[in-house]
Amino acid sequence: MAATAEALDIYSHLDDAACEARILAAREALGERVVILGHHYQREEVFRHADFSGDSLKLSRQAASSSAEYIVFCGVHFMAEVADILSRPDQVSILPDMAAGCSMADMADLARVERAWRELAEVLEPDEQVTPVTYINSAADLKAFCGRHGGIVCTSTNARHVLEWAYGRRDKVLFFPDQHLGRNTAHAMGMPLEEMVVWDYDLPMGGLSAEQIRKARIILWKGFCSVHQMFRPEHIDAFKARYPEAKVVSHPEASFEVCQKSDYVGSTEFIIRTVRDSAPGTRWLVGTELNLVNRLHQQYKHEGKNVHFMSPTVCMCSTMFRIDPQHLCWTLENLVEGRVVNRIQVPAEEAAQARLALERMLEVSP
């Protein structure tokens, strides 16, 4: 029997407790044939089932080194694509809910990036002067574009190493889709803001003059994360006024102004380490997704640490939240029955080119 949407609908009526027991039973039945990877932004009821948790770099490495037949990715679409690209051809990458995308990744697409490359060619020789760098939060065809054009992938953990690699080869970088990660990283490397321009993908020539393009060292795609853009410098000011001794740590997808006011900036893995290694009693304001911040608070409150969320409004990553116990249960029980649902499979040629860009990244990563 094919696994149908109707069958999934039956799972949506299960409560979390019923799912919990059935997930555990399915895992038991599958044994080492399955590995569950969980990103730090996953909700607790899903996160607790992960064999390995991590940021996008760590989870890419896990996917590349896992021997399991099935890799069930509790994260978002681009992560399951990377798992498919980096794993062996006989392994199967699965995303429990196909609607778990990333709104930032959707802000860049191949047609627009190819158009940008053509338009840049009116002013420069892009294949000699510009390295395309895509944040891992992007579709596989954009990673393949980077593979074809001497480019590379980065994550928030290795962005600096990747930019150093890129500038060792060519003068300029086209960085997509997240302008903030590009700006924050280049600035931390010592690049002045005047050497950065923003490419507005809705405008001809990105809305830039030939002169601006020739002068720029980094061309930042006008993309952003809707979760991290909620954090504002005023939130930090208000918090510091109340708790002057508190420390602030933010993800580099937050704006330049927020990162400048933060004591530390880094990936989710970095944020976890920073809070974990701080002295007992430390108070933290954290600018990243709510599920991770809540988990940190729960984990370290026994050491007297107080971990606060940066925004006064509740903002979760709604696409990460699509992965719920019901979808995980449906996915695993289908595997027990010998049916693969929601397989993520990148076409072979695209995967080979994307792998090139991902392998360059893995080589330069710390």
Binding site for ligand 13P (CB under 6 A): 40, 55-56, 137, 155-156, 225, 253, 267-268
Within 74-93, the residues that bind ligand SF4 by CB under 6 A are 76
Of 334 and 342, the one with the shorter C-beta distance to ligand SF4 is 342
Shortest CB 225 distance to ligand SF4, Å: 3
DSSP-derived secondary structure letter, 279: P
Task: List residues bridging with 254 in a β-sheet.
Answer: none
Whichever of 225 and 258 has its CB closer to ligand 13P, that residue is 225
In angstroms, what is the minimal distance from the CB of 292 to ligand 13P?
9
Rounded-to-10 torsion of CA 19, 25, 26, 27: 110
- Number of CB atoms found within 10 A of residue 201's CB: 20
SS3 content of the chain, % helix, strand, coil (to 5): 50, 15, 35
Torsion of CA 59, 63, 66, 70, to 10 degrees: 120
* Of residues 156 and 334, the one with the C-beta less far from ligand 13P: 156
Question: What would the two tokens of residue 199 be?
Answer: 């490419």
Closer Cβ to ligand 13P, 102 or 335, answer by number: 102
Residue 76 or 83 having the CB closest to ligand SF4: 76
Q: How far is the CB of 316 from ligand 13P (least distance, A)?
A: 11
From residue 260 to residue 299, the character string flagging contacts with ligand SF4 as x (rule: CB under 6 A) and all else as - is: -----------------------------x----------
Identify the burial level of 231 via C-beta atoms within 10 angstroms of its C-beta, where 0-12 means exposed, 13-18 middle and 19 or more buried. Answer: buried
Q: How far apart are CA 181 and CA 266, in angstroms?
A: 10
103 binds, among ligand SF4, ligand 13P, none (CB under 5 to 8 A by kind): ligand SF4
Binding to ligand SF4 by residue 108, rule CB under 6 A? no
154 φ/ψ angles, rounded to the nearest 5 degrees: -135, 165
By CB under 6 A, residue 159 contacts ligand SF4:
no
268 touches which of ligand SF4, ligand 13P, none (CB within 5 to 8 A by kind)? ligand 13P
| Sequence-ordered list of residues with C-beta below 8 angstroms from that of 169, at least 6 positions apart, any chain | 131, 150
Distance CA 325, CA 28 (A): 16
User: Which position among 92, 173, 307, 317 is part of the footprint of ligand SF4 (CB under 6 A)?
Assistant: 317
Between 144 and 320, CB nearer to ligand 13P: 320
Binding flag, residue 326, ligand SF4 (CB under 6 A)? no
DSSP line for 198-253: EE-TTSGGGG--HHHHHH-SEEEESB--TTGGG--HHHHHHHHHH-TT-EEEE-TT
- Number of Cβ within 10 Å of residue 210's Cβ equals 11
Q: Considering the rule CB under 6 A, would residue 102 count as an interface residue with ligand SF4?
A: yes
Smaller CB separation from ligand SF4, 83 or 335: 83
Binding site for ligand SF4 (CB under 6 A): 76, 102-104, 137, 225-227, 253, 289, 317, 319-320
